[in-house]
Amino acid sequence: MEHINWYPGHMKKTKELIQKNLKLVDVVIELLDARIPLSSRNPQINEIVQNKPKVIVLNKSDLANPTISKEWVEYFKKEGHKVVEVDTISGKGLDKVTKMANEAVEDKMKAREEKGMNRRAIRAMIVGIPNVGKSSIINRLTGKKSAKTGDRPGVTRGKQWVRLKGNIELLDTPGVLWPKFEDLNVGLKLAFTGSIKDEVLDVETIALRLIDYLCRYYPENMKERYKLDTIEEEALDNMENIAKKRGCILGKGRTDYTRVANIILDEFRASIIGRISLERPNEEIHITMNDTDEE
């Protein structure tokens, strides 16, 4: 598979929007996917935000391996950031987002008071890649449907200010990816979690690579979910065995690869296979397959 190069025009505009409006805000709230905190972290954001106070939100924590998520919390704390795990379905951790945003700019607000100025609403910017759950978090924090949501990347558009609880005014921005994934593994992890539209990549290949990863790192989950007697060495053999168990068979016993691929991707994304993390701090995990390894 070649390097994934997907940079729609609206994402270029979003980067410019962030740069233009950064001076208006006091704190940046950066949303990451708890299953892939590094791969879902746009390296351009750090470059643009620079020394602006930041709160890191590990969203979709209900889908991630809880033990590994704790490791990520410590990892980002050591980087000097405030960090919180969030689950927008149950609402877990959401109250801490506004609390940490206030804490991040407390020194600035005290300095205003010392100069004889009144405290004003804290202005925050929320940033993150597509489909990381920004709109869902905004709707939860405001207590109303103020932002468009969708289960497909690229639903949010344009710029809007939203009033949050905790005396915070939030500047929402669309999801923004970076121009090119030099590391194929990063692109694949984004594809696994749905941050890249399925139409952009080959669904069967993506599912095959995901099966390879899951069978290596979460074999018991795979055995239990798909009633597999054994885990084979080759990802394709495992895919075909899952297809048989699920009845994804065409005429003359041929495997329906598209159907089984969609089942695997859908069940992984919905956490039906289990709470799974695709990366952990200080441990490089490569998504590879025997017949198509890329260095």
List the structure tokens of 103.
């804490």
Domain assignment present for 265:
yes
Domain assignment present for 213:
yes
Q: Is 291 annotated as a binding residue?
A: no
At residue 36, the pLDDT reads 95
Chunked in runs of 10, what are the mean pLDDT values of the chain (295 residues)? 51 70 87 93 77 92 95 93 91 90 87 83 84 83 58 47 81 60 80 78 91 96 97 97 96 95 96 95 61 39
Q: Is 39 annotated as a binding residue?
A: no
DSSP 3-state helix, strand, coil percentages of the chain (rounded to 5)?
A: 45, 15, 45
- Domain limits for position 264: 202-269
Domain count, the chain: 2
Domain assignment present for 35:
yes
Q: Is 90 annotated as a binding residue?
A: no
Domain assignment present for 282:
no
Domain assignment present for 226:
yes
Whether 20 and 161 share a structural domain: yes
At residue 1, the pLDDT reads 44
Whether 34 and 93 share a structural domain: yes
Nearest residue to 146 via CA among 165, 122, 132? 165
Whether 64 and 146 share a structural domain: yes
Q: Is 62 annotated as a binding residue?
A: yes
Q: Is 134 annotated as a binding residue?
A: yes
Nearest residue to 76 via CA among 64, 84, 88, 87? 84
Q: Is 128 annotated as a binding residue?
A: no
Whether 23 and 150 share a structural domain: yes
Domain assignment present for 290:
no
Whether 110 and 246 share a structural domain: no
At residue 198, the pLDDT reads 66
At residue 56, the pLDDT reads 95
Q: What is the DSSP letter of 183?
A: S
Whether 233 and 106 share a structural domain: no
Q: Is 133 annotated as a binding residue?
A: yes
CATH number of the structural domain spanning residue 144: 3.40.50.300
Whether 81 and 214 share a structural domain: no
Whether 158 and 218 share a structural domain: no
Q: Which of 156, 172, 188 is the last residue of a domain?
A: 172
- 135's enclosing H/E stretch is helix 134-142
Domain assignment present for 19:
yes
Q: Is 175 annotated as a binding residue?
A: yes
Domain assignment present for 48:
yes
Identify the residue whose tokens are 């699920």.
Answer: 246
Nearest residue to 25 via CA among 105, 132, 107, 118? 105
At residue 155, the pLDDT reads 38
CATH number of the structural domain spanning residue 239: 1.10.1580.10
Whether 113 and 213 share a structural domain: no
Whether 29 and 128 share a structural domain: yes
Cα 132 from Cα 129, distance rounded (Å)? 6
At residue 153, the pLDDT reads 42
Q: Is 102 annotated as a binding residue?
A: no
